[in-house]
Amino acid sequence: MLYNLALLAGLVLLAPYYAIRILVTGKYRASIGQKLGRIPRGLISSLEGRPRIWVHAVSVGEVTAAAPIVAALRGRLPGACIFLTTGTETGQAMAKRLVPQATACAYFPLDLPWVVGPVIEKIAPDIVVLTETELWPNFLGHCSRRAIPVVMVNGRVSPRSFRRYSRTSFFWKKVLGTVREIGVISGVDADRIRALGAAPGNVRVMGNAKYDSLASRVSGEDWSRKAAQLKMTADSRVLVAGSTHEGEEAVVLDVYRGLLREFPDLRLVLVPRHPERGAAVRDLAAQKGHACILMSEIRAGREPQARARRRRRDRRALCPLQPRHRGLLRRKPRAEGRPEHPRAGRLGEGGLLRAFHGGLRRREGPVGRSGGRYLREGRQGASRQDEGNPVGSRRAAAPRGRGPEAGPVEPRRRRAICGDGRQGVRAKG
């Protein structure tokens, strides 16, 4: 009851803001109808086959994790109807491109009781598969009342989420009781979700499905084609900064400028977390004296080195990429040709983002509050944390509530990152 009252209050307060965003920018226009329960009749009629499996993956990262799961389901149950939903428009575009095995794709309904109930009745799933820790109480309650089994895959509970959920664990214990099976990424996640009230026998550690997805999607031919487009060879020095948030690119560009003094042939590839920010990143690079070329321009026939004839520093092309290109640049072409790949997250205030690393040399962090998780993953072989590396230490992380331009600590952090980057480039030879 209190949950629904809070939802109603939030709806009243936020409705004007989102209405203006939809009218002015067009954002959410494609998704708002389905989120309010208006599922097209044509989509409903396309749901043929049994069992009917509803898979939910909120955004791009979750779709990446869901892709191998949907493919496996299709392989084992070729006659099944697989209904895939997302919560964001970028996730929807990724789902339609990355998960062709799905029977139909749509947007997940808002967790309002008068919305989710009719949608569940229309879809009539035999089972629901939630990717990562997507706990929507009204949705799960309706599934429970209709005796629809719900399972979770690729679940994780960050330290921050755990602290927040722990304050109302009495509520989440009931919600978790509606999930029949819970597959989590690590033992730490398993301990946390059990502490929140999940039945111990229902929780299993199954690893990270994102790794399976990205590793299987990129072939040697894909890498060769993309490298040719970017005018890169196995001997090229390349710095890849992946899944960056606003504010983090400024840090990376400053670090890159420092590295260029010692490695003038070093190339930088920036992969913004949100692809719609590509133009903003390009403008930022130009402000800092770097020429930038977008992947869309390369696909249109413009070559990365074409601008170098006009301006010398244009040799160092910056290429913001869309999410579908990330796996291509994270695949190891040859041992001696690995790009240097720093993980994004906590360079600004975006929190830790888990990029897939495909055998590339990399530098971690700053990882901030999630540092403990990385150290544990490092011991399990999933990630490497270099001893004595100031970039990966908590001391190097931005103070809580401060952005990347927040004060005197910033120059020290940038020098630390730059020094660590030089070591990596030297190691490449």
Q: Which of 386, 339, 334, 391 is nearest to 360 (CA)?
A: 339
- Shared-domain flag, residues 276 and 175: no
- Shared-domain flag, residues 319 and 347: yes
Of 142-151, 185-194, 274-283, 320-329, least confident by mean pLDDT is 320-329
Given pLDDT bands bounded at 50, 70 and 90, which one contains residue 426? Answer: low
Please report the pLDDT score of residue 294 as a whole number: 82
The set of catalytic residues is 62
**8 located within any domain:** no
Please report the pLDDT score of residue 314 as a whole number: 40
- Shared-domain flag, residues 305 and 422: yes
Three-state DSSP state, 288: coil
- Shared-domain flag, residues 421 and 381: yes
**14 located within any domain:** no
CA distance 239 to 173: 45
- Shared-domain flag, residues 205 and 266: no
Average pLDDT of the residues in 180-184: 95
Q: What is the largest CA-CA distance in the chain?
A: 68
**63 located within any domain:** yes
CATH classification at residue 127 = 3.40.50.11720
Kindly report, residue by residue over 351-368, the tens digit of the pLDDT: 333 333 334 444 544 444
**9 located within any domain:** no
- Shared-domain flag, residues 132 and 255: no
- Shared-domain flag, residues 350 and 422: yes
- Shared-domain flag, residues 74 and 169: yes
Given pLDDT bands bounded at 50, 70 and 90, which one contains residue 315? Answer: very low
Q: Which of 250, 268, 259, 253 is nearest to 316 (CA)?
A: 268
If one compares 418 and 1, the residue with the highest pLDDT of the two is: 1
Q: Which of 84, 92, 80 is nearest to 43 (CA)?
A: 84
Please report the pLDDT score of residue 238 as a whole number: 86
Distances (CA, A) of 142 to 22, 23, 155: 29, 32, 21
If one compares 289 and 184, the residue with the highest pLDDT of the two is: 184
- The two tokens of residue 256 are 């890159």
The pTM of this model reads 0.60
Percent of the chain with pLDDT over 90: 34
- Shared-domain flag, residues 121 and 236: no
CB-based contact 312:339 (threshold 8 Å): no
Instruction: State the total domains in the chain.
Output: 2
Please report the pLDDT score of residue 310 as a whole number: 39
- Shared-domain flag, residues 52 and 148: yes
Domain ranges, residue 94: 29-215
CB-based contact 138:112 (threshold 8 Å): yes
**299 located within any domain:** yes
CATH classification at residue 354 = 3.40.50.2000
Evaluate if residue 302 carries a pLDDT over 50: yes
- The two tokens of residue 255 are 């670090």
CB-based contact 263:425 (threshold 8 Å): yes
For all residues of the chain together, what is the average pLDDT?
76
Evaluate if residue 166 carries a pLDDT over 90: yes
